């Protein structure tokens, strides 16, 4: 197992200490391991969790599906709806370069979502008004 040193603001560490003192987590290490794995599952639902008792801790924390969906974003975590909103906003403002930069930064040119976003952007370029 690798060891990694990370610095946190004092206020964050105090809150984590309080969670450990309240017994929500057995140790600060357990909190950090669970937190990292949880975020990885938000980013990638296929992530293979390695943390011991991950599901048990998640159940004890009573993270509802609604809470989980909120953490994922407006469209349940695919990021696509947020991307559509961003491209639309830039398109309405005529800021096509910003929209293209956004698409290029977040998508591979062959991704289906990329193609759809480029088509969406094209509709704003074609609309004279």
* Chain segment 103-126, per-residue pLDDT in tens: 999 888 888 888 999 999 998 887
Is residue 98's pLDDT more than 80?
Answer: yes
Assess contact for 99 and 107: CB atoms under 8 A: no
pTM for the complete prediction? 0.53
Using one digit for the tens of pLDDT, what is the confidence trace for 17-72? 999 999 989 999 999 989 988 888 877 878 899 888 888 888 888 877 677 666 66
Report pLDDT for 77. Answer: 56
What is the separation, in whole angstroms, between the first and last Cα of the chain? 59
When pLDDT is cut at 50, 70 and 90, the band that residue 101 belongs to is very high
When pLDDT is cut at 50, 70 and 90, the band that residue 79 belongs to is confident
CA–CA distances in Å: residue 36 to residues 29, 85, 87, 95: 11, 28, 30, 36
The phi-psi region of residue 23 (left if phi > 0; otherwise alpha if psi is between -120 and 50; otherwise beta) is left
Is residue 99's pLDDT more than 80?
Answer: yes
Mean of pLDDT values over 5-20? 90
Task: Dihedral sign for Cα 36, 42, 44, 45, please.
Answer: positive
């Amino acid at each position: 197992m690798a060891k990694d040193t990370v610095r946190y603001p004092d206020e964050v560490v105090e809150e984590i200490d309080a969670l450990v003192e309240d017994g929500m987590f057995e140790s600060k290490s357990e909190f950090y391991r669970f937190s990292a794995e949880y975020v990885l599952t938000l980013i990638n639902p296929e992530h293979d969790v390695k943390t011991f008792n991950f599901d048990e801790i998640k159940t004890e924390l009573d993270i509802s599906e609604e809470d989980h969906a909120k953490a994922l974003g407006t469209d349940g975590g695919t990021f696509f709806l947020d991307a559509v909103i961003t491209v639309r906003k830039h398109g309405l403002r005529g800021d096509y370069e910003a929209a293209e930069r956004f698409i290029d930064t977040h998508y591979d040119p062959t991704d289906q979502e990329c193609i759809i976003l480029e088509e969406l952007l094209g509709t704003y370029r074609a609309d004279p008004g």
